[in-house]
Amino acid sequence: MMSFDNEARARESVIRAARGMARAGLVVNKAGNVSARCEEGGRTAFLITPSGMDYESLRPADLSLIYWDDGTNKWVHSGPHKPSSEWLMHAEIYRAHPGWGGVVHTHSPRATVLACRQTPIPAFHYMVAASGGKDIPCAKYALFGTPELARNVLEALKERRCCLLAHHGVVAAGSDASQALSLAVEVENLASMYIELLALGPVEVLTEGQMHEVLGKFKAYEDNSRRLSRGEPALTRPDGMPLWRYADGRNISCTEKVKVLDENFREIGRLMADALDDAVLIGCPSEQYRRALENLAAGLKSRYPDQNPAENSQGGS
């Protein structure tokens, strides 16, 4: 049986994301699937949840390993169970996007409502930019588990990291399974807000220019996150402080980000604790999780103090 250097870590990440997906209400019963890339030497390989197994009882050894065999020019499956019926969709996504390390497929209720109407999510809120573009598109319908569905999803994901699947559900991708799950949660959140707005009447959306500005900021954050995930140092200013770079080359210091984080941290902590329902994803009570987040904010503020005393003396924020 083929094995890969980072296979153990990938197995654990799939289990965590699969259970998180179920606990967040993004799937019912045994629906949906999660995968994580584990490859070496340029060979595309990934681990995926098996077909028809309850996520809470899932163990790392239950996952299916799928990799591309250059000798036969075919995908090879190994593992004790049949892989998810959507394995081909995951396989083609990984092959088309070498930088992506995790994929989550959900049937989350609100987003699936829009998918069943074949209604993309427009830029009514700036967080739509989390998709990587100015909307969240809807892939054309095709029977689940088919090459046609895989092709339709790839088309929708050409310039996006997530999409709706007509009459089906949602696909979200990220640098790992955890990031893909976070994006899937955001898609459901945006879908819920958009449906409520539609009930109130016509929905106003952000302009092309406004979304271009938002996407520039998102790209700056992602660029530094990608550097850190590769073990590279964050970009820094001449004084050594970390910085973030906009798409147009302008820099923003980490201290500016921390100030925003500090101003909103208590509210963020409360919302995260509520949404995670006693922080099940990390296995600790919500109050303990909230305190951990507050300590993180205090630590960041201490590590990156304000670098503009003149602004402070004038009462700036």
Write the DSSP string, 194-261: HHHHHHHS------HHHHHHHHHHHHHHHHHHHHHHTTPPPPB-TTS-BEEE-TTS-EEEHHHHHHHH
Mean pLDDT by 10 residues, the chain (317 residues): 68 92 88 88 85 88 90 87 94 92 96 97 95 96 96 96 97 92 94 96 94 81 55 57 51 52 50 49 57 66 50 38
Active-site annotation holder among 7, 86, 92, 188: 86
pLDDT value at residue 309? 41
Q: Is 256 a catalytic residue?
A: no
pLDDT value at residue 200? 95
pLDDT value at residue 300? 58
Q: Give the whole-angstrom CA distance, residue 83 versus residue 241.
A: 47
pLDDT value at residue 73? 87
pLDDT value at residue 128? 95
